[in-house]
C-alpha cells in the first residue's frame, strides 16, 4: 500500500494506481469525462482532472500520474481551477444543451462537474461551437448526435473491449471528428443491440439506441456495463 | 446504379489489391503504407479495398476507416474527369475562398472530396497552391484560376459544356463522314 496526502487528508491505495483513481476511490471528487477504470492507457483528452503535485511546477492531469509514496496532491488550487473551468467551458461550447430532449437520466456528469467547479452550464464567454456536420447521424442501431458528443472516446474504447475489435471508431479530424461504424454486410448481423455498451457508457447522451431496438435490449446488461465503468 | 463498366472496374481493382496485399507484412504499422500504395494505383480507396486491408492486417474495417479519414491525403471517391481544387489557405480564406468552394458545391450538388455520380466532376479543397497574390484561387484541371469570382465559376461550367457539345458535334460529323 502507498500513502499519499490529498488536500491535507491522508489516503492509502494499492501500488500502480493513478492519482485520479486513488482520489475517486477515497471519496475525493476530481472532475473527469474520459476516465474509465479498466483503461490501461488513459486517454487524457477531457483536460478536466488537473491537480497540483508538490515538486512539479505546473498542474498535471491526475489520470496520467501514478501514485508514489508520500505524494502531496492539491485538487483545488487557483491554477487547477482555472484550467478546469476553461476546459469545462470548451467542452460546453461543443455540447449543445437541450434539457427537454436530453436522454441522460439521473445524474449528469456535466452538471456534477459544473457544480463542483461552481460555474454555470453555459460556455460563456466562449461561443457555442458551430460545426459543419449533420445534427443526427444514423448508426444502424443507434442515433448519434454530434452536437452532444464531447469526444471523450469512452464508446470507442468499450466497444473494442467487449468485441475484441472496434465496430465503432472516430472518423475525420478536428471539428469534423465524429463517431462512426464502418463495414459492409448486413448491419443486422451485428449483435449491437445485445451489447449496448457504447450507449450505456456515453456520458452526454450522444449515442442513443433507436426506439425500435429498445425492446430487444436487455436491461440487465446495461447495469453490468455501468459497474465496469465506474 | 452501377453500370457494367464500373462493376468491371471494381472487380479489376479487387483483383489487383488481392495480388498486392501479400507483398506487405501483416503488421499494423503497414496500414498507412498499404493504403498509400492502393491510392497511388487506383486514385482512391473504395469501401471494398478498405475491408480487404482490414482482413489482411486482422484489424476491424472501422479502424482502417478511422485512420484513412483522419488524413487529408486519402480520397474515398474516384476522381472526376474534371477536377476542381479550391484553395482554402490563409490568403484565399481571407479573400473568400469558402464562398468559391460553396459555389462549386452548390452547382454540382456534391461536397468537397466527392465526385458527381456521372464521374464528370470532382471537388477538392487544398491548403495552398502557392500563388497567394492571386487569392482566391481555384485550380481547374491543371489551370490556375486567380482572383476567381462566383460569376467565373459559372463561366467555367459554360466553357466545359461548350467543349462537350463541340466534341459531340465533331464526333457526329466524323461518323457521318465515314
More confident residue, B24 or A193: B24
Q: Is B7 on the interface with A (CB under 8 A)?
A: no
User: CA of B67, closest CA in chain A: separation in Å?
Assistant: 7
Domain B82-177 = CATH 3.40.47.10: no
Q: Of all helices (H) and strands (E), which one includes residue B56?
A: helix B47-57
Give the pLDDT band of residue B1 (cuts 50, 70, 90).
Answer: very low
Q: So what's the pLDDT on residue A220?
A: 45
A1-130: what CATH class?
A: alpha beta
CB A183 to CB B66 under 8 A? no
CB B70 to CB A181 under 8 A? no
Q: What is the mean pLDDT of residues B154-177?
A: 90
Burial readout B117-156 (b: 16 or more C-beta within 10 A, e: otherwise): eeeebbbbbbeebeebebbbbbbbeeeebeebeeebbeeb
Least confident of A65-69, A208-212, B48-52, B134-138: A208-212
Query: Residues A15-40: pLDDT tens digits?
Result: 999 999 999 999 999 999 999 988 88
Write the CATH number of the domain with boundaries B4-70: 1.10.10
- Name the stretches of chain A with pLDDT < 50: 219-221, 223-224, 227-230
Q: Which long-range contacts (CB under 8 A, 24 or more apart) does A21-26 make?
A: A21/A63, A22/A67, A23/A51, A23/A62, A23/A73, A23/A75
Contact list in A for residue B59 (CB cut-off 8 A) is 165
Task: Report CA A132 to chain centroid distance, whole Å.
Answer: 23
CB A165 to CB B64 under 8 A? no
Whether the CB-CB separation of B67 and B59 falls below 8 Å is answered with no
Q: So what's the pLDDT on residue A187?
A: 63
Contact list in B for residue A183 (CB cut-off 8 A) is 51, 60-62
Q: Could you state, in order of their start, the residue ranges of all structural domains in chain B?
A: 4-70, 82-177
Contact list in A for residue B51 (CB cut-off 8 A) is 183-184
CA distances B77 to A44, B10, B111, B121, Å, are: 34, 12, 11, 11
A133-230: what CATH class?
A: alpha beta
- With CA atoms as reference, report the closest residue to A20 among A9, A35, A7: A35
Contact list in A for residue B62 (CB cut-off 8 A) is 165-169, 180-183
Give the pLDDT band of residue B140 (cuts 50, 70, 90).
Answer: very high
User: CA of B66, closest CA in chain A: separation in Å?
Assistant: 5
Provide the ipTM: 0.82
Closest-CA residue of A relative to B73 is: A172
Could you tell me what percent of chain B has a pLDDT over 90?
76
Q: Could you state, in order of their start, the residue ranges of all structural domains in chain A?
A: 1-130, 133-230
A162, A169, A179, best to mutate vs chain B, most B CBs in 10 Å = A169
- With CA atoms as reference, report the closest residue to A50 among A66, A42, A62: A62
- pLDDT over 90 (residue B3): no
Scan for cell 460569376, then name that residue: B151
Amino acid at each position: 500500500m502507498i500513502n499519499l496526502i490529498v488536500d491535507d487528508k491522508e489516503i492509502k491505495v494499492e501500488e500502480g494506481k493513478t492519482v485520479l483513481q486513488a482520489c475517486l476511490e477515497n471519496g475525493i471528487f476530481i472532475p473527469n469525462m474520459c476516465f474509465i477504470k479498466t483503461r490501461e492507457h488513459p486517454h487524457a483528452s477531457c483536460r478536466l482532472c488537473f491537480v497540483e503535485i508538490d515538486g512539479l511546477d505546473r498542474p498535471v492531469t491526475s489520470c496520467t500520474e501514478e501514485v508514489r509514496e508520500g505524494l502531496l496532491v492539491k485538487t483545488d488550487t487557483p491554477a487547477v481551477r482555472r484550467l478546469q473551468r476553461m476546459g469545462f467551458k470548451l467542452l460546453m461550447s461543443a455540447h449543445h444543451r437541450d434539457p427537454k430532449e436530453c436522454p441522460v437520466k439521473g445524474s449528469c456528469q456535466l452538471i456534477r462537474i459544473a457544480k463542483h467547479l461552481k460555474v454555470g452550464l453555459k460556455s460563456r464567454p466562449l461561443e457555442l461551437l458551430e460545426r459543419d456536420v449533420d445534427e443526427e447521424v444514423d448508426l444502424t442501431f443507434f442515433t448519434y448526435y454530434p452536437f452532444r458528443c464531447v469526444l471523450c472516446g469512452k464508446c470507442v474504447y468499450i466497444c473494442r473491449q467487449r468485441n475484441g475489435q472496434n465496430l465503432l471508431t472516430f472518423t475525420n479530424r478536428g471539428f469534423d471528428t465524429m463517431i462512426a461504424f464502418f463495414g459492409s454486410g448486413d448491419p443486422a448481423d451485428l449483435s449491437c443491440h445485445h451489447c449496448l455498451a457504447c450507449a450505456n457508457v456515453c456520458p452526454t447522451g450522444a449515442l442513443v439506441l433507436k426506439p425500435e431496438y429498445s425492446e430487444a435490449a436487455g436491461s440487465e446488461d446495461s447495469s453490468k456495463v455501468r459497474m465496469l465503468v465506474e | 446504379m452501377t453500370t457494367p463498366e464500373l462493376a468491371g472496374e471494381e472487380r479489376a481493382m479487387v483483383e489487383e489489391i488481392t495480388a498486392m496485399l501479400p507483398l506487405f507484412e501483416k503488421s499494423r504499422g503497414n496500414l498507412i503504407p498499404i493504403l498509400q500504395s492502393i491510392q497511388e494505383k487506383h486514385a482512391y480507396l473504395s469501401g471494398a479495398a478498405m475491408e480487404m486491408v482490414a482482413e489482411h492486417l486482422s484489424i476491424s474495417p472501422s479502424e482502417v476507416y478511422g485512420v484513412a479519414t483522419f488524413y487529408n491525403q486519402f480520397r474515398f471517391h474516384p476522381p472526376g474527369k474534371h477536377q476542381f481544387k479550391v484553395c482554402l489557405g490563409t490568403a484565399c480564406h481571407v479573400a473568400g475562398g469558402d464562398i468559391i468552394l460553396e459555389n462549386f458545391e452548390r452547382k454540382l450538388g456534391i461536397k468537397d472530396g466527392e465526385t458527381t455520380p456521372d464521374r464528370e466532376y470532382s471537388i477538392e479543397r487544398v491548403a495552398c497552391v502557392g500563388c497567394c497574390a492571386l487569392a482566391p484561387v481555384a485550380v481547374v484541371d491543371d489551370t490556375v484560376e486567380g482572383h476567381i469570382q462566383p460569376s467565373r465559376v459559372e463561366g467555367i461550367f459554360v466553357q466545359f459544356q461548350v467543349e462537350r457539345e463541340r466534341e459531340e458535334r465533331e464526333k457526329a460529323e466524323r461518323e457521318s463522314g465515314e
